[in-house]
Amino acid sequence: MKHLRHLRKYFVRYRWRLAVGIFFILVSNYFGVLAPQVTGFIIDYVQRALKLPGYQPKAEAANYDVLVQRFIDTVEGREYSVGTIVAIAGVTILVLALLRGLFMFFMRQTIIVMSRRIEYDQKNEVYAHYQKLDAGFYKANSVGDLMSRMAEDVSRVRMFTGPAIMYLTNLVALIAMTVFFMYKRSPELTLYVLSPLPLLAFTIYRVNTVIHRRSEALQATLSAITVNAQQSYSGIRVIKSFVQERAMEGFFEANSEKYRRDATELAKIESLYFPSMALFIGISTLLTIMIGGLQVISGEIRLATIVEFVIYINMLTFPVSAIGWTASMIQRAAASQKRLNEFLHTEPLIVNPEEAQKPALHGAIEFRSVSFVYPNTGIRALHEFSLSIRPGEKVALVGRTGSGKSTVVQLLLRLYDPTGGEVLVDGVPLRRIDLAHLRGGISYVPQDGFLFSDSVARNIAFGSGTVDMESVRSAATAAAVHNEIMSFPKGYETLVGERGVTLSGGQKQRVSIARALAKPSPILVLDDSLSAVDTRTERAILDHIEAYLRERTSIVITHKVLSLSGFDQIVVLDEGRIAESGTHDSLLKQNGIYAEMYRSQLAQDDRTAI
Ligand SMILES: Nc1ncnc2c1ncn2[C@@H]1O[C@H](COP(=O)(O)OP(=O)(O)OP(=O)(O)O)[C@@H](O)[C@H]1O
């Protein structure tokens, strides 16, 4: 329950709405508890007026509520016939029911609407916090988990801030009011009637605990089925090509079978819930009639009192039966809020520095003896890495897979902070530069060339804020993808991604290069962004974007060394250390790793040319 304390700020924010909602609950219940009294009065009145047997004039004082008493005084003060008074009482009961319903409507309008607002605020809070968290956090948590916290957990918390609070307040108000009026009428009968309640509460609690446990198990099985199905759809091409449909069906069937079993178990225990409720309510009614009947015979109470009590007990049936699921709503909300709090209390490792600087960026980059160990795996990706790049230089990072090339770029973007040494841009350490200013100054093309499910134009203009078609087109032309875009059904307005056109790996990479080129910035980073094109196309693209590269400092990570002759510096990484560095010619002369890579790729290129 302590986890739900996090919601206090929302209740404070919406305190007036909550207060008005609680007021409506009180008013609607007040009208609710008046109706049995009017019924009681009318039975009393008819017995008295028609001198029916069993009327106890000396029985307990009527003790009506002020409003009901005023109604009685008014109708009895006039010379109405019995029939008219009965009719007036009937209409009054109807009006009371309408008033009760009206205030219930207001109650829902305030409390449920408040819960929707809290849900909206909370989703925004979670989303905004996700955006602040660092790359390490995203490595450590699965996308599915992040999504389910944002959707499912926030919805479960809403069931607490809305329905649970509403039903609970309603229950407390109704019990307080009915018990008050019952007690005023006959304290002794009230005690008898309410005596099964502790047993009822205990049974509800026990049954509910089991229901809660079983529905949690059911939920977990459902998640497993969802993950199973999601993986099957995403990996459908692999499944089909490896002819593994049967095996996947087998997994699905096993999970579904477990779900069926769990659901049946849950249904069994749930089917106990309402009968046991009905049993206790039945016992209460029985006690009222039996003990009340005896008291009527002995002249202690009036017949009308029994009728009033029976109506009160029936009014309590629904709110009391709601105790179980209200309690489980609260338990679930507390568990969900706990999960949300785990993320909300996670502090991003990369934060904007206090007194952040915004130096004019020209593109000078320096790595000073930088070492880096990935926090989640403990892998040492860089050792004492030093590199100095002047503004406007073209630098290539090459090396075997896993040698640390992408890590260099991640440190430059400050997705991680180095564990040793320092990275500087234009002489200022990254830790002192405003994060948005730094990242705004770097155009980055990631390895996987991620594109959003949106039009090609908006994907290319992503980093520039507005879609300026001229710069979009010239960036796409430079990235050698303009002609292909024009051949798509709707040109630049063609949708890409899940529901749109499926781009080839090479097209995706070139669109994401265009996106980086369209963003005006002094530093350009291509992280193995041309891996899906052949060496000649890579050379052609690098020539095409030459005009863009000339204006910026560029870092190009590549496995293809054939296209690197025009680069100012080529750095060869090996197991996180610089193995060689220099220009294309000087590295060939050194006759080391680079020369070896060059020769083998040249031979391969010759073979494909033949
Ligand atoms: N997010 C990460 N968490 C943990 N370890 C990582 C992470 N990213 C990379 N590594 C590890 O760090 C080392 C360097 O990886 P890095 O991605 O920098 O190499 P790379 O030279 O870019 O490789 P490739 O050419 O295959 O992209 C590898 O051993 C890799 O397994």
Indicate which residue's Cα is closest to atom 25 of ligand 1. Answer: 401
Q: Which CATH number do you get for residue 578? A: 3.40.50.300
For a mutational test of ligand 1's pocket, the pick from 379, 571, 573, i.e. the residue with the most ligand atoms closer than 8 A to its C-beta, is 379
Same structural domain for residues 280 and 317? yes
Distance 465 CA to ligand 1 centre (A): 31
- 139 and 192 share one domain: yes
Contact 205, 327 (CB under 8 A): yes
Q: What is the pLDDT of residues 294-317, one digit of tens each?
A: 988 888 888 889 999 999 988 887
pLDDT of residue 499: 65
Centre of ligand 1 to C-alpha 456, Å, is 30
Q: Are residues 398 and 459 in the same domain?
A: no
Spatial CB neighbours of 445, under 8 Å, sequence gap ≥ 6: 509, 512, 513, 515, 516, 524, 525, 526, 527, 529
Number of Cβ within a 10 Å radius of residue 140: 12
Q: What CATH number has the domain bearing residue 129?
A: 1.20.1560.10
**Domain assignment of residue 352, yes or no:** no
For residue 566, what pLDDT is reported?
A: 81
| Atom 18 of ligand 1, residue of closest alpha carbon | 404
What's the whole-number mean pLDDT along residues 553-578?
Answer: 87
Indicate the average pLDDT of the chain: 87
The verdict on 147 and 225 lying in the same domain is yes
Crossing angle (nearest 10°) for helices 15-49 and 303-344: 170
Report which of residues 331 and 289 the model is more confident about.
289
Question: ipTM more than 0.90?
Answer: yes
Per-residue pLDDT at 540 exceeds 80:
no
Q: What's the structural domain count of the chain?
A: 3
Of 343-352, 408-417, 531-540, the poorest mean pLDDT is in 531-540
Domain shared by 136 and 249, yes or no: yes
Ligand 1 atom nearest the C-alpha of 377 is 4
Q: Ligand 1: which atom is nearest the Cα of residue 399? A: 21
Pair 319, 288 in one domain: yes
Q: Are residues 470 and 327 in the same domain?
A: no
The CA R_g of the chain, rounded to the nearest whole Å, is 37
* pLDDT top residue among 377 and 387: 387
**CA 290 from centroid of its chain's CA atoms:** 54
Residues 69 and 172 in one domain: yes
User: Given the structure tokens 């106990």, which residue do they identify?
Assistant: 272
Q: Ligand 1: which of 406, 419, 555, 597 to mutate, judged by most atoms within 8 Å of the beta carbon?
A: 406
**Distance of CA 381 from the midpoint of ligand 1 (Å):** 7
Query: Residue 557 C-alpha to ligand 1 middle, in angstroms?
Result: 13
Residues 382 and 509 occupy one common structural domain? no
For residue 203, report the distance from its CA to the centre of ligand 1, in Å.
57
- Asked, for residue 198, whether it belongs to a domain, the answer is yes
| Domain contains 214 | yes
The verdict on 117 and 219 lying in the same domain is yes
Residue 243 is predicted with a pLDDT of 87
| Residue 447 is assigned to a structural domain of this protein | no
Write down the pLDDT at residue 79.
80
Q: What is the pLDDT of residues 465-521, one digit of tens each?
A: 777 888 899 899 988 889 889 998 889 998 887 666 778 888 888 899 999 998 889
Alpha helix stretches (DSSP H) within 399-504: 405-412, 435-440, 456-460, 469-478, 482-486
CA of 398 to the centre of ligand 1 (A): 13
**Mutate which of 407, 531, 571 to test ligand 1's pocket (most atoms within 8 Å of Cβ)?**
407
Give the pocket of ligand 1 (CB within 6 Å): 139, 374, 376-377, 379, 381, 399, 401-407, 528
Q: Pick from 466, 499, 515: which residue ends a domain?
A: 515
- For ligand 1, the distance from its centroid to the CA atom of residue 531, given in whole angstroms, is 16
Q: Which domain holds residue 488?
A: 452-515
Choose the most confident range, by mean pLDDT, from 150-154, 233-237, 391-395, 603-607: 391-395
Asked whether residue 197 falls in the same domain as residue 212, the answer is yes
Is the same domain home to 544 and 572? yes
Q: How far is residue 190 from each of residues 22, 48, 182, 184, 242, measured CA to CA in Å? A: 27, 25, 6, 9, 72
Going from the Cα of 505 to the center of ligand 1, the distance in angstroms, rounded, reads 21
| Residue where a domain terminates, one of 282, 312, 344 | 344
Stated pTM of the model: 0.78
Question: Highest-confidence range of 110-114, 195-199, 320-324, by mean pLDDT?
Answer: 110-114
Residue 334 lies in a domain: yes
Predicted pLDDT at 56 = 66
CA of 408 to the centre of ligand 1 (A): 10
Mean pLDDT of 95-104: 96
- β-pairing, 442-445 with 428-429? unpaired
The mean pLDDT of 560-571, rounded to a whole number, is 82
Instruction: Tell me if 349 is assigned to some domain.
Output: no
In angstroms, the Cα distances linking 420 to 21, 133, 370, 434, 463 are 57, 22, 5, 21, 31
- For residue 408, the ligand 1 atom closest to its alpha carbon is 18
DSSP state of 504: P
Residue 312 in any domain: the answer is yes
Pocket test for ligand 1, best of 139, 382, 398, 403 (most atoms within 8 A of CB): 403
Question: Is 130 among the domain residues?
Answer: yes
β-bridge mates for residue 34, sequence order = none
**49-63, 319-333, 553-567: the lowest-pLDDT one:** 49-63
Neighbours of 8 (CB within 10 A): 9
Structural domain ending residue among the three candidates 344, 376, 401: 344
